[in-house]
Amino acid sequence: MGSVRPSLIDCDVHAVLPGIAALLPYLSDYWREQIAQTGFKGPVDRWYSARAVAAAATIKDEIPASKVEYLQRDVLDARPELQWAILNYDCAVETLHNPDAAAAVASALNEWIAAEWLARDPRLRASIVVPSQFPELAAAEIDRMSGRPGFVQVLLPVRSAEPYGSRNFRPLFAAAARHGLPVGLHFGGAPGNPPTPVGWPSFYLEEYAGMTGVFQTQLISIVAGGLFDTFPDLRLVLIEAGVAWLPPMLWRLDKNWKGLRREIPWVRRLPSEYVRDHVRLTTAPFDAPDDAQQLREVVAQLGSDSILLYASDYPHAHGEDRAVTELEFLSPAFATRIKCENARAVYRFEP
Ligand code: ZN
């Protein structure tokens, strides 16, 4: 790190599992035998994802984010001011219908992350992978992993079979709250239902651009479900969600809460107040206008200088670091909050 003062926390970098073989050392004899002798080869879409990343790689045969050396070269060493980076492995565990398989794969992934990534670079932190479709099993994995060095968050795919505010998910959130861990909702997921409220889209572009609607649905559900009253210490981080959609959604939610709040009497404050106190969003992608003045207005509409967390989303390219550099130009103090101070607060990192 040299003489450069640590001033950057990257709240979203990724690892790519090179294949199911990498998990074998962390699975029981039973699951090793299942993988060797049956058609079960782990979550369904990770290998496609790995091939897609490989196809896009600029260096032949190198899969970005598949080795800690690549992450060090491309992110950790490339930014001398970087103090920590949080590894989010979006592993499609939610695609598994066998609860024992989902629990076993999630546990193996967490052990793989601990041994192959966290143990090899002190700047890395990680999220806990859980079988989110089985909330009781997810809670057990959170209990098992909490307190393990370097694990700072519970990771959920933003797409789920029903909204996370449903009482069915309460054991999962109770476990996160019990251990003081933020819950991160990350772009994507494949729980089996359509990614839009009106059925299956024809093209991935529709799903990709429309994912903000899923984030909105989850945020409304979590507020309406009363999770922030039930668990006053719960922090929610929306990762790779964009940010510009939030102010108009909150305006609408506040307005309608005033008319319908008798239905949800446990929600005792304006929804926007819960969001200000409990919810954070990462900056990549930053879906704000290019014009500096308009950018300043969008950020002001978010209503809090604590709400944004810097993220690169390595190795997924969104085209720029523009949001952070322009915010620094507009307000150095605000940029410092986004780049490190807000993450220190939500993840309770020591300075
Ligand atoms: Zn990401």
CA–centroid distance, residue 15 to ligand 1 (Å): 10
Give the pLDDT of residue 347.
Answer: 96
**Displacement of CA 68 from its chain's centroid (Å):** 19
Q: What is the pLDDT of residue 20?
A: 84
Question: How many A from CA of 2 to the centre of ligand 1?
Answer: 28
- Compute the distance from residue 159 Cα to the ligand 1 centre, in Å: 14
Q: How far apart are CA 340 and CA 6, in angstroms?
A: 9
Residue 200 CA to ligand 1 centre (angstroms): 23
Q: What is the spatial distance between Cα 80 and Cα 118, in angstroms, rounded to a whole number?
A: 19
Distance 273 CA to ligand 1 centre (A): 26
Amino acid (one-letter) located at 203:
F
Domain borders along the chain are 8-347
Helix then strand count (H, E) for the chain reads: 15, 8
Q: Alpha-carbon Rg of the chain, whole angstroms?
A: 20
The two tokens of residue 242 are 């964009």
235, 99, 238, 86: which is closest to 157 by C-alpha? 238
- The residues of the chain scoring below 70 in pLDDT are 1-4, 44-62, 318-330
Give the distance (Å) from ligand 1 centre to CA of residue 319.
14
- Ligand 1 mean position to 311 CA, how many Å? 8
Q: From ligand 1's centre to the CA of 266, what distance in Å?
A: 33
pLDDT of the residue at 2: 46
Q: Give yes or no for a contact between 260 and 202, defined as CB atoms under 8 angstroms apart.
A: no
Confidence at residue 260, expressed as pLDDT on a 0 to 100 scale:
95
Q: How far is the CA of 268 from the centre of ligand 1 (A)?
A: 33
Per-residue confidence (pLDDT) for residue 44, from 0 to 100 = 61
User: pLDDT tens across 75-115, in order?
Assistant: 899 888 899 999 998 778 999 999 999 999 999 999 999 99
182-218 tens-digit pLDDT:
999 999 999 999 999 899 999 999 999 999 999 999 9
CATH of segment(s) 8-347: 3.20.20.140
186: CA distance to ligand 1 center in Å?
6
